[in-house]
Chains A and B, each alone.
Chain A
Amino acid sequence: MNLSGLSHSQESNTRGGQFIHLDIPMLLGLLVLSLAGLMILYSASGEDMGMLQRQAVRLGLGFAVMVALAQVSPINLLRWTPWLFGIGLLLLIGVLLFGHTGKGAQRWLDLGFFKFQPSEMMKLVVPMMVAWYLHQKPLPCSKRQLGVALLFIAIPVILIIQQPDLGTSLLIASAGVFVLLLSGISSKHIFISIGTLSLFAPIMWFFVMHDYQRQRVLTLFNPESDPLGAGYHIIQSKIAIGSGGLYGKGWFNGTQSQLDFLPERHTDFIFAVFAEEFGFVGIIALLAIYMFIILRGLQIAAQAQDTYGRLVVGSLIFTFFIYIFVNIGMVSGLLPVVGIPLPLVSYGGTSMVTIMAGFGILMSIHTHRKLLPA
């Protein structure tokens, strides 16, 4: 293994924030986003203090996980990657065999003291695994290596689709694919992959996707066809967004959300509440915060000193964007309804902790760099 790029990383300098291995601009961006999320959650939950507190505790936990992971040296991360991947696969198989069923899908593994969702862990481990595999190979990689890398992606994705969890498998697949794309695979391979994927689409449609998932896709194109069933979410959410207008109806004044017309308004559809109450102006501000985090993240990726760090950080950031794009796209009726939360804003713990863990890894990679002479 070539670890030369990381060999001096423990000798961290004392530049701002780096003594606790945190990136201050990124931390600020995440904090502002979390506060905005808490603010809109307070309104979306109908001023439910309990819900707000639970979310604050989760955020606290998320930040703690981030700080903790930031302290872990990338060398160790790199070493643990294949082991983590192996454990993850075993857990996924465990879920399928002994998993806890909730809302018609098996996602949880009941470990007695707490319920664990292995698919969440895989959101981070799969891109790490692909990066681990590629970072020792000369890039761009060969066709055979590409095939191996794709296997690392496909196996967990197929296991997760079985649960079934379309949203998570989509995120994991894209996280893995982003590593491949960033690694510089040739455009020829990209086109071949796209071609293969489009061949897979009908197979997915007819053999893998469940009825309710197909229904969601169909409903997207014509929500009015089923205004009380699957189309109801999209119709109500579009009404919420559209009626917000330029400046919004004001905090706590969104009628669509406050009067319960908007379903899942504090979880997957919280963006619609934000759009209704803060309007187009609020949306631009929110997107600006997200954009700041993404730009800073890509800058960190570009500054990473080895292939593993670059690929992992780059993939995490683009996946972060996928969260945002898919969630907003689905809430505004551009994409089918898949259960993907709006990062750090939607109410709910598991995915938030995963995202924060990702940022922890990002900070670890950024702050354990060996300072090069200017």
Chain B
Amino acid sequence: MHNAIKDHKREARLFTVRVVLGLLCVIILLSLLVSRMAYLQLESHQHFTTLSEKNRLRLLPEPPIRGLIYDRQGRVLAENIPSYTLVITPERVGDLEETVARLATIVEISEFDIKRFEKQRKRGRRFHAIPLRFRLSDEEVARLAVDRHQLPGVDVEARLIRHYPFNELSVHALGYVGRINEHELVQLDHAQYAGTDYIGKAGIEKSYENILHGQVGYKRVETNVRGRILRTLEYVAPVPGDNIYLSLDIDMQRAAKHAMKGENGAVVALDPRNGQVLAMISTPEYDPNWFVNGINSTRYKGLSQSAEQPLFNRFLQGRYPPGSTLKPFTGLGAMELGLLDERDHTNCHGWMTLPGNDRRYRDWKKQGHGRTDMQKAIVESCDVYFYELAMKMSIDQMYDFLIQFGFNQRTGIDLGGESSGLIPSSEWKKRIKGERWYLGETLISSIGQGFNLTTPLQLAVATGSLAMGGRRMYPQLLLQIEDALSGTLLAQTIKQANQITVHNRENWDYMIDAMEKVVNSPRGTARSIHSETFTIAGKTGTAQVFGIAQGEEYDAEKIAKKLRDHALFIGFAPIDNPEIAIAVIVENGGSGGSVAAPVARAVMDVYFGKQP
């Protein structure tokens, strides 16, 4: 039981003790708060400052303008043109589906547009503007302007898009740009490509991507919690990509294409003095502008499934039997090795056989060329003479000589995906086929058939080296780089050319002389392209696509076009001071002299200033 009488003094004392205890608690808790503040504001200050800056500051990339591509005379091959693009910022749109449906009633929006939009939307941030339709017409822009106020989050942006004014002409050399895909995204420097829509996908656009692209700039902006930009704190301007001058001449390109007369094939013309590529065409071509904003699947199917194979880069990747165009090289090889000289001759009666074998190795001319020396064998393209030559020259001697001209290897041109062709050797056959080499195969190899495969580019390069008396050459499309800011031109040095060992210069002159007669003598296989204004040396070729059975006749009219011979021509001009070396192949064109040689002549005409 408690004492019922209140003791005021005792209660007051008790209260004071309790207040002091309470005050003690207050001080302890207050110290806890102060030390918490000290921890946050002093100890972890740096950490939270970083977080605070990350909250408010945003880096907005400013993509650079892509460098232009010119031909050697300064004509624009690839440019950037403003194009109106319909964009949607998902963050600002209430009902995305409804908005897109609404837009589809104002401008044309295809299934493909929507698919592409969805794909990008999933990758992007909600507050980024994502393109829905490219290349709006002026009329469409006007129609959108009327209804824009009812469509929040929908904008029309003027963006620069890549444009190729010559459309399909030169596409295989030039290549094209396209939207960056997920695979490329992984390998890219993300900082540099933040804000960039396009990347070089093929050709020069791909090879010189790092020169053309430029350097990304950025805006450091302060944003509020909703991402609205309040002010720009720092601006670093992007550095536009450098412009590129190519050694190509668009007039020669056009002439080459025109001269191909719609046939499939390839033309490569280069300057043998320095390896600059003057013309480079693969037909048929396709329009690179289709690829810039993503090609639709119908068009792509049309291109990729066409029997004409327009996407195939014939001058770079086409592996063709060189046929008789290889004869000047094998012939020169035999002479340089001292296996025969200009006095040696054979009697050609249309075919020959090897000892102990019935198989007939035919000449293209059924009745034969009669008494034939090296010169006549080149001028009239006698096969039997070379069969005889092959009896003296081993396949490995042939191989060793030919590869000096750049056959059987990539030329190293500044384009990706080059094929290396094939020149057989006994070692090669053993390795690949597991068989020994047969003499008959040497016979066929000597006239550029059999296993031999060359690209049109390799043929042009080899022709150039032959024309220059054995100076090797590294082809290049890049002529000079123009600094985008200062405008200074930076000429591109060509890789130092090596010299092929020359045993006797007279052999080379002899072979060039024979090639001159191919064009200029009345019996020459390319006499149709004889020119009064400049001297041309050349060699025709007709490469078999289709083996003819023993005892059968080759009749162009009878067999399907697809199986007809390829027509080839190599040549250079002028003879004394070569400025242009050329290789032409017309697929299934038939005769090299009548089909391929005129193409070379047309290109040379433009080069030497005589418009056809």
Contacts and interface: CB of A to CB of B under 8 A. Distances in A.
Interface residues of B, number: 44
Given A260-B225, A287-B34, 13 more contacts: A139-B6, A182-B15, A184-B17, A240-B52, A241-B37, A242-B41, A260-B226, A302-B15, A307-B15, A314-B15, A314-B22, A334-B32, A334-B36
B19, B36, B222, B223, most chain A CB atoms within 10 A: B19
8 contacts: A255-B56, A259-B222, A275-B37, A280-B41, A283-B37, A287-B30, A287-B33, A332-B37
B47 interface: yes
B52 A255 contact: yes
Contacts of B5: 138
Contact of B40 (A142, A242, A295): A242
Contacts of B44: 242
Interface of A: 2, 5, 137-142, 178, 181-184, 236, 238-246, 255-256, 259-261, 275, 279-280, 283-284, 287, 291, 294-295, 298, 301-302, 307, 310-311, 314, 318, 321, 325, 328-329, 332, 334
Interface string B1-40: 0111111100110111111001100100110111011101
A239 B55 contact: yes
B147 to A, nearest CB: 32
B48 A238 contact: yes
A182 B18 contact: yes
A261 B33 CA distance: 23
Contacts of A184: 11, 14-15, 17-18
Contacts of B32: 334
Task: Say what secondary structure dominates the interface of chain B.
Answer: helix
A242 B48 contact: yes
Contact of B41 (A2, A275, A318): A275
Helix, strand, loop or mixed for chain A's interface? helix
Given A260-B226, A302-B16, A310-B15, A241 B52 contact: no
A151 to B, nearest CB: 19
Contact of B12 (A138, A140, A294, A310): A310
A182 B40 CA distance: 34
B52 A243 contact: yes
A368 B155 CA distance: 73
Nearest to A291: B30
B49 interface: yes
Contacts of B16: 302
B51 interface: yes
Given A255-B52, A260-B226, A245 B41 contact: yes
Contacts of B2: 138, 141-142
A259 B224 contact: yes
A244 B48 CA distance: 9
Contacts of A239: 48, 51-52, 55
Contacts of A181: 18, 22
B75 interface: no
A165 to B, nearest CB: 23
A236 B54 CA distance: 12
A298 B19 contact: yes
A244 B41 contact: yes
A362 to B, nearest CB: 14
A181 B23 CA distance: 13
Given A138-B4, A184-B18, A284 B34 contact: yes
Nearest to B222: A259
B125 interface: no
